[in-house]
Amino acid sequence: MNTETPPEVSYELLRQKLLRVDKFEHKLRLLGALHAIQDERQIGRLHTYYPGQRTELDYTKYGVWLFPNENWNDEPLFYYTGMGIDHAATVIKGETITVDPSARDAVRLYRNCVLPKSLWLPPSLRHYAQHWDVFGIEVYVVVDNATDLTANAIILMFMINGVIVLRMPPRRGDLKGKVERTQQTIETRVVSRLPGYVSNKYTGLDPRHKKIRDRAKAKANMTVADFQARLVEGILEHNHAPHPDFKKPRIEVWRDGQEQAPLVLPTGLLQLRTAFALTYPASLTSEGVQAEELMFNSPELHAVYRVHTGEKVHVKLDPDDVRSVLVLVPQHDEPIEAFLTTFDLDFPLSLELIRVLLKRLEVRYTGNEVWKEDIGFHFLDELQRVQSGPRTPTPGKTTRSDAQAATHAVALPTVTPQQVHTSTNVSLSDLLKGSKI
């Protein structure tokens, strides 16, 4: 039997042969268009010609065990960080920290990227705003296929701001590589040195990594506010570090770019409230409109109801300020402001916090409706408990919901029950004044 030794093939020859193979066409024939597009197609990147043209948004794959506030007497929770990166200057435009990424957090993340930092940084960090002058509306926004970044309300938010949304296909992190690499830089230089840090290799529910996660959890001793302070310091250090291509500080690359393309900002309060908000479909009723189980009404809105009873409208709700909403009525050119009908507040209240507080009041006074006669007093009394007291579980709510409420509560000024009063300016008797009913 004649056996011949197969000729030896060099690595370089094999590499050159493979380079000439059309991998997309090959995988298209073998696996179909979906796998070929996801794995092989070279999606044409839109070139970025100046800073402020393109922003990439994403959440970190790693996380940190944190306590919502100093009074939290339960176990720490696992928090993620959302970031927005300018593609050309590679500066970090904004951040948000959340235990459960959702559409509400996507609104906060993009708003923090667009607005000047003095408008949203906590008072203790507001002095950093003058060194973090990175803001403005871009031309393109790059997101992946996470449900919180592709929800209808979020896409609508981008459209209202006139932004073109680029959705990257699954498993193609290379198409938004700037935000991926920047997150790794912040992880290496800042986050990995903090107690409670867990690498992306060990996040998730894999039982083989449970001991690693438990060790990090046992070392946790920072609150969300503490972590944000360290994160902002790391962001400023990154923004003022040399750009890898231009060899001068990234913030200078950003500032120089404004000479060619000046910043574009929202034009006023109306655009801010309609753009950076969640959108809910609703129907006009005699009691106003409902969004997230909260009722909103005003004399102007009731006047519209008397003419357009049952009209389908859209409600714009700021997740960080539920005191009032904007109602978009098809027959009106301008939105109509409606106010929370339960009580008046002198300070903004987040959606997560009011949900938990109302649920706690319902449970605390089960079977006793007297508390609703002075709901303002009892509401602030409950808020004061969440601000200053240890954590007590809220029936019907998850630990994450309680953690979000506790984090938002400590960011508010210290309250006393005498600060608030039951709302009377939108009562039914006032709304029907001058009516023939």
Are 252 and 121 a contacting pair, CB within 8 Å? no
C-alpha distances in Å from residue 55, one per residue of 158, 233, 366, 434, 437? 12, 21, 49, 52, 54
Residue 172: strand, helix, or coil: coil
User: What is the rounded average pLDDT of the residues 235-253?
Assistant: 94
Using CA atoms, how far apart are residues 147 and 150, in angstroms rounded to an integer?
A: 5
User: What is the rounded average pLDDT of the residues 401-426?
Assistant: 72
Torsion angle of the four alpha carbons 207, 210, 212, 217, in this order, in degrees rounded to the nearest 10: 160
pLDDT of residue 121: 94
Phi and psi at residue 79, in whole multiples of 5°? Answer: -110, 145
Residue 140: strand, helix, or coil: strand
Beta partners for residue 223, in sequence order: 67
String of DSSP letters for 261-321: S------SHHHHHHHSSEEEEEE-BTTBEEETTEEEE-HHHHHHHHHSTT-EEEEEEETTE
- pLDDT tens, 200-232? 889 888 888 899 999 999 999 999 999 999 999
Using CA atoms, how far apart are residues 60 and 67, in angstroms rounded to an integer?
A: 18
- List, in order of start, the domains of the chain with CATH numbers: 54-257 (3.30.420.10), 269-431 (no CATH)
Phi and psi at residue 93, in whole multiples of 5°? Answer: -90, -30
pLDDT of residue 172: 63
Are 383 and 360 a contacting pair, CB within 8 Å? no
What's the first-to-final CA gap in the chain, in angstroms? 108
pLDDT of residue 434: 47
Indicate whether 423 pLDDT > 50: no
Indicate whether 56 pLDDT > 50: yes
- Sign of the torsion angle spanned by Cα atoms 172, 175, 177, 179: negative
- Write the DSSP symbol of residue 399: H
